[in-house]
Structure 1
C-alpha cells in the first residue's frame, strides 16, 4: 500500500513515484506486446471480410492516452487505439457512422480474442457504449491494469509525415463545422491522437513522472469530490503540468516538489489561465488567426489542446475548477511542499497566460 501522498515530504516525492506510481516493467513489456498484436489485427484482419475497409493510406493504428505517452500509472490508466475505416471520409461521417463501425469491430475482436493467447488477461467491457469499444489488459502476476478504448475516426491528418506540422487546411473543415453547429469543442480530437501523443512522448522522463504525480493527485481529488460536481478533464492538468515546466524550468533534472507546488499554484489561479501552443497551428493563416483570437478571449480558464484548436480543456465555467482549486490550496500546506530540512520548496516563476 502506498503511504498517503499528503504526508510525503517533498524530497521523497521521486521515491514515492518510483515505488508506488510507476508500473511494473515486466507488465509494461507484456502490455506493449499485446497491444502490438491487437493493433496488427485491427489494421490487417478486422475488416478483411467487411464492406468497411481500413483506410488504404492509414499506415498504423495510432495509440494515445497514458500508455502511449509514457505516463501510465500502476492502476487505472487509459489508452486509445484509433482505427481509420475507409467509410469515414469526413468529420460528419465519423459522427453519423461510427456506431455501426464500433459494432463490427466488437464482433470481430471478440471472435479473435477467444482464439488468441496473451501474456496478460484480456477482458472485454460488458458495458456496450455505441461510440466506443472498451477492454482491459490486466497483469496475471501483479495488481496492474490498463483500460483501452478502440475509437473509429476520420483520418484528418492523411499522410502527414512523422514529425511534420499539419497545414492550416487540415483544420479548415473542422473550424467551419465547429462554427456552424452546436458541437462541443474537441468533439473530433481522436482524429489528432498522434499529435496529442507526440506532444508528450518527446518530453523528459522526469516531466512524465511529474505528470504521473499530478494524475495520482487528481484521482484522489476525484474520489473525494465526485459527488459535488464535474471536475475539469485530467488532460487539462496534464497540459498545465507541461506548461509549468516549459515556463518555469525547462530542465531535464528539476526538483519534483517545486514542480508539484507550481502546478497546484496555477490550479488556484484558474480564473486567470489562458494557455495555448503554436506547435501544430498558429496565427499565420488568417482563418486560423481569427478563430484563435476568438478562442483565447473566452471565459477563463482557457487551455487549448495543442493538437486540436477547437478543444478548450480549460472550459471556462463548464467544469468545477473551484472545487479543484480549493483542494490545491489545502495541499499547498502539506508536507509535500517542504524539503528535507522542513523549509518551503521554491515556486517556479510561471505566468498565468501565454505572452
Structure 2
C-alpha cells in the first residue's frame, strides 16, 4: 500500500503478561521515550518562563510563581494520554474567593497572550491549543514530532495560599470557607499543587513505575466502564499505591507483581479504607483536629489528599468503587498474579482496618480521646 510500517511494537495486553515480566512491560510500553521527555521539559520550562515573566508584562498583575504539577512533574508520565498542570499564581488572586470569582478573566488573558507567543516561538515539540474554550481552564498539548507520544497540559490560575512558606501550610481559612459554604472538597487543591507533587516526586523510581502500571490498569477499566458510572479519580489509586508500598514494603527494590496484587486487593476492600497522612497537617491544631475527626468518620472509602485535608478522593458513595472492585477481582485471577513458575505472587502484609476505629497512617496515632464506636 506504499505506507511505511511503524516499528513500534504493539503492547502485549497487560492481562496476559506474567508477573515476572511486568517490569519489562512497564519499560517497553508505559515509560515515555527519554528524548521526548527531555524535549518536553525544555518546552515546559520555556512556557513557564513566558507565563512568569512576559504574560502580564503590559498589566499591573505580577505572577508570583508558576508550579508544575500532574504526572509530568511527579515523574509518573505514561507514553500517551498523560496530563500535567501548570499552576500560575497571579498577584490579583488574593483569596480562595477571588480565585473562584476572577479565575475566568485570568484564563482568558493568558489564552490571548499564549496564543500570540506560541505562534512566533519555535518548539522541538508540536504545540496545539485546545479548541474548547473552557472558561475555568486553558488546555494545550505538546506532541513529539518523531514518536507517537504526547502530554496534555492545563494552565490553572490559583491563589497563592502557601505564600512564602510551602513547608508549613496554613489551612484555617480553607477549613472555615469549607464549613460555611457548600463547596465540594478539594475545590482549591490547585493551591497545594506543590505539596501534591512533593509527596510523590521524592519516592523511589520503582514505586513511580508501579504508579504508572496502576494508571495504565485504571485507563483500561475506564474505557470499559465509563458508560456504567463514574469511577473514583485516578489520584485515589495513586495514593492507594503509595499507601500499599509504605505499609507493605517500603523497599526500593520490591517485586512489582506483589505490589500490583496488593493494590488491587485494597481496591476490593474499598469499604474498609480510611487513609490519611500526617505530613502536611495533623491533630495538634485544635481546628484541624476537629475537622479531621469529622472527615475520617465519613462513609468509607476515605482517602484524604495529603496536600489538602478537604479533598477526600475516596469519596464514600460519591463514585462507583464497586465497579472498580469487580474489575480488580477479575484481574486477581490474571497471569499478572503468577510468577515465572506459575505460582501465585505474594500479597504484601498491609494492616487490616479496624471496624470502628480509625486507620491512621504515618507518624503518630490519632489522639487517645478518639473513640469512634
- Give the TM-score category using the shorter length: over 0.9
Q: How does 1:114-133 map to 2 (within 5 A)?
A: 114-133=119-138
Alpha-carbon distance, 1:239 to partner: 0.1
Residue number among 158, 161, 168 corresponding to 1:156 in the alignment: 161
CA distance in 1, matches of 2:177, 2:205: 38
Is the 2:82–2:152 Cα contact (8 Å) retained in structure 1? yes
Alpha-carbon distance, 1:167 to partner: 7.6
Is the 2:185–2:311 Cα contact (8 Å) retained in structure 1? yes
Alpha-carbon distance, 1:307 to partner: 0.2
Indicate yes or no: 2:9 matched with 1:9: no
Alpha-carbon distance, 1:326 to partner: 0.3
- Superposed CA RMSD: 0.9
Unmatched runs of 5 consecutive residues or more in structure 2: 1-9, 352-373
Larger radius of gyration: 2
CA distance in 2, matches of 1:152, 1:168: 22
Alpha-carbon distance, 1:51 to partner: 3.6
Alpha-carbon distance, 1:169 to partner: 6.8
Alpha-carbon distance, 1:168 to partner: 7.2
Superposed CA offset, 1:288-341 (max 9, x none): 000000000000000000000000000000000000000000000000000000
Unmatched runs of 5 consecutive residues or more in structure 1: 54-59, 160-165
1:18 maps to 27
1:108 maps to 113
Superposed CA offset, 1:255-304 (max 9, x none): 00000000000000000000000000000000000000000000000000
CA distance in 2, matches of 1:188, 1:8: 40
Relative to the length of structure 2, the TM-score reads 0.90
1:28 maps to 37
CA distance in 2, matches of 1:205, 1:134: 28
CA distance in 2, matches of 1:344, 1:194: 39
Superposed CA offset, 1:225-245 (max 9, x none): 000000000000000000000
Superposed CA offset, 1:133-189 (max 9, x none): 000000000000000000000000001xxxxxx587710000000000000000000
CA distance in 1, matches of 2:133, 2:211: 31
Tell me the secondary structure at the aligned position of residue 113 of structure 2: helix
Alpha-carbon distance, 1:52 to partner: 2.9
CA distance in 1, matches of 2:260, 2:306: 22
Superposed CA offset, 1:19-70 (max 9, x none): 00000000000000000000000000000002433xxxxxx31110000000
Tell me the secondary structure at the aligned position of residue 30 of structure 1: helix
Is the 1:52–1:101 Cα contact (8 Å) retained in structure 2? no
Is the 1:258–1:348 Cα contact (8 Å) retained in structure 2? yes
Tell me the secondary structure at the aligned position of residue 169 of structure 2: helix
CA distance in 2, matches of 1:169, 1:331: 40
CA distance in 2, matches of 1:227, 1:85: 39
Is the 2:30–2:212 Cα contact (8 Å) retained in structure 1? yes
- The 1:199/1:178 distance shift into structure 2, 3 A limit, reads same
CA distance in 2, matches of 1:146, 1:61: 18
CA distance in 1, matches of 2:310, 2:167: 16
Tell me the secondary structure at the aligned position of residue 98 of structure 1: helix
Is the 1:10–1:337 Cα contact (8 Å) retained in structure 2? yes
Relative to the length of structure 1, the TM-score reads 0.95
Superposed CA offset, 1:165-216 (max 9, x none): x587710000000000000000000000000000000000000000000000
CA distance in 2, matches of 1:228, 1:38: 38
Is the 2:162–2:169 Cα contact (8 Å) retained in structure 1? no
CA distance in 1, matches of 2:184, 2:215: 24
Larger displacement relative to structure 2 (293-302 or 44-53): 44-53
- The 1:191/1:284 distance shift into structure 2, 3 A limit, reads same
Is the 1:39–1:61 Cα contact (8 Å) retained in structure 2? yes
